[in-house]
């Protein structure tokens, strides 16, 4: 098959979750004998035309000039280019800035869409933007030949709201085996003597609930907060109100090896995400031997099952902090989550599932 992937800034991954998916998926499909093209921003750090056998199509991306509006123009440029390529299938990762151009997708090419999370529920968007995002979601559902849900929660949501079936294909992760506790010295931390929160500083990630719970807790371990608090209004507010000896904001950290070590050696890892499907950072925590306390919602529960602690409010956060210490008694939960990575959330299996879905669409 001749396959295109659009909706990301490009590969190799320098940005985030969908870029990581595009990287693993494109290379995996090439290894299976397919001809794969990934659309890259013109200012991507990697400027060559191929990478590990994947063809790269660099398109003008004016986001650096126009902000969010530039994403729509970038997707428009990618879709216009696709009209001359005769692809068998185009996989769009997300729909927010591409589905509005549905009428420009090439005729005779199958369109598959990864529906991502419930973008319109994110509290950072004002009502008019949320309404637009609902329209974009509706367009993606109505104009795609196939839909992918990366969590059972999203699959159920699409069935309930739009009466459509989607293919459940989860996200992937690699097992991590951090071995060097001396890396913690950079932040004056010791193994097991801190709790950890890694998140974008947005309300739907329940950051403040966790911060309030830590402030209520009767413990001496600090809560380490990783995320660009200086980049969002909420982040700045939370830093001003909660930063202290017991709640330490480290800012954003992008080095995966450092993050894996921080997760591995933490006492409790808090995952507050409540909007979206299978979250990459949750899988990375599972793969890093973290003991997880997650926000109680269907998306997290469908991944973690009984192998985590859960919270719904600050009282429950405080209770978990006061009572749970990572030790031998918690080893079965941690090992069960690592087993899920190897059996359910491994990249080779994810690639196989995408290939099967693509074959079915193209030959239907």
Number of Cβ within 10 Å of residue 106's Cβ equals: 16
- Burial code (b: 16+ CB inside 10 Å, e: under 16) for 33-45 equals ebebbbbbbeebe
Residue 120 pLDDT grade (very low, low, confident, very high; cuts 50, 70, 90): low
Question: Phi/psi of residue 39, each to 5°?
Answer: -80, 130
Would you list the domain boundaries of the chain?
Answer: 2-172+346-362, 181-343
* pLDDT 10s digits, 289-330: 999 999 999 889 989 999 999 999 999 999 999 999 999 999
Query: pTM value?
Result: 0.84
Q: Which residue has the tokens 């973690």?
A: 304
Could you write out the DSSP letters of every residue in 256-304?
Answer: HHHHHHHHHT-S-EEE---SSSS-HHHHHHHHTT--EEEE-SHHHHHHH
* pLDDT 10s digits, 185-226: 999 999 999 999 999 898 889 999 999 999 999 999 999 999
Residues 93, 81 contacting (CB under 8 angstroms): no
How far, in Å, are 264, 324, 353 from residue 361 at the CA level?
Answer: 41, 48, 12
Q: Between 73 and 65, where is the model more confident?
A: 73
User: 181-343, superfamily in CATH?
Assistant: Glycogen Phosphorylase B; (3.40.50.2000)
* pLDDT 10s digits, 43-54: 999 999 999 999
Domains 2-172+346-362 and 181-343 share a fold: yes
* Average pLDDT of every residue of the chain: 92
Report the CATH number of the 2-172+346-362 domain: 3.40.50.2000
Q: In what order do the strands lie in the sheet with 167-168?
A: 50-51, 54-59, 35-41, 2-6, 89-93, 110-114, 146-149, 167-168
């Amino acid at each position: 098959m001749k396959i295109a992937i659009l909706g990301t800034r490009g590969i190799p991954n320098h940005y985030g979750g969908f870029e990581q998916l595009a990287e693993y998926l494109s290379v995996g499909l090439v290894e299976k004998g397919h001809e794969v093209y990934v659309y890259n921003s013109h200012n991507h750090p990697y400027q060559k035309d191929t990478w590990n056998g994947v063809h790269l199509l660099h398109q003008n991306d004016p986001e650096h000039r126009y902000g969010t509006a530039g994403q729509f123009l970038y997707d428009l440029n990618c879709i216009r280019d696709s009209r001359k390529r005769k692809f068998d299938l185009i996989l769009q990762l997300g729909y927010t800035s591409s589905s509005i151009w549905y009428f420009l997708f090439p005729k005779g090419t199958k369109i598959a869409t990864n529906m991502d999370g419930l973008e319109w529920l994110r509290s950072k968007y004002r009502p008019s933007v949320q309404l637009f995002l609902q329209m974009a979601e509706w367009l993606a559902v109505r104009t795609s030949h196939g839909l992918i849900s990366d969590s059972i929660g999203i699959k159920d949501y699409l069935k309930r709201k739009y009466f459509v079936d989607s293919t459940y294909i989860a996200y992937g992760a690699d097992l991590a085996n951090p071995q060097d506790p001396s890396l913690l010295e950079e932040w004056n931390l010791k193994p097991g003597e801190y709790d950890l929160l890694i998140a974008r500083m947005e309300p739907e990630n329940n950051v403040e609930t966790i911060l309030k719970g830590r402030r209520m807790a009767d413990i001496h371990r600090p809560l380490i907060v990783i995320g660009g608090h200086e980049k969002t209004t909420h982040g700045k507010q939370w830093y001003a109100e909660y930063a202290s000896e017991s709640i330490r904001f480290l800012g954003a950290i992008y080095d995966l090896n450092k993050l894996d070590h921080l997760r591995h050696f933490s006492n409790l890892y808090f995952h507050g995400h409540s909007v979206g499907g299978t979250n990459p950072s949750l899988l990375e925590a599972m793969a890093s031997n973290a003991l997880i306390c997650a926000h109680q919602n269907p998306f997290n529960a469908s991944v973690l099952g009984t192998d985590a602690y859960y919270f719904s409010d600050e009282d429950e956060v405080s209770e978990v902090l006061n009572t749970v210490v990572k030790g031998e008694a918690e080893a079965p939960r941690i090992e069960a989550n690592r087993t899920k990575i190897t059996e359910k959330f491994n990249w080779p299996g994810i690639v196989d599932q995408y290939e099967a879905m693509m074959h079915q669409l193209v030959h239907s």
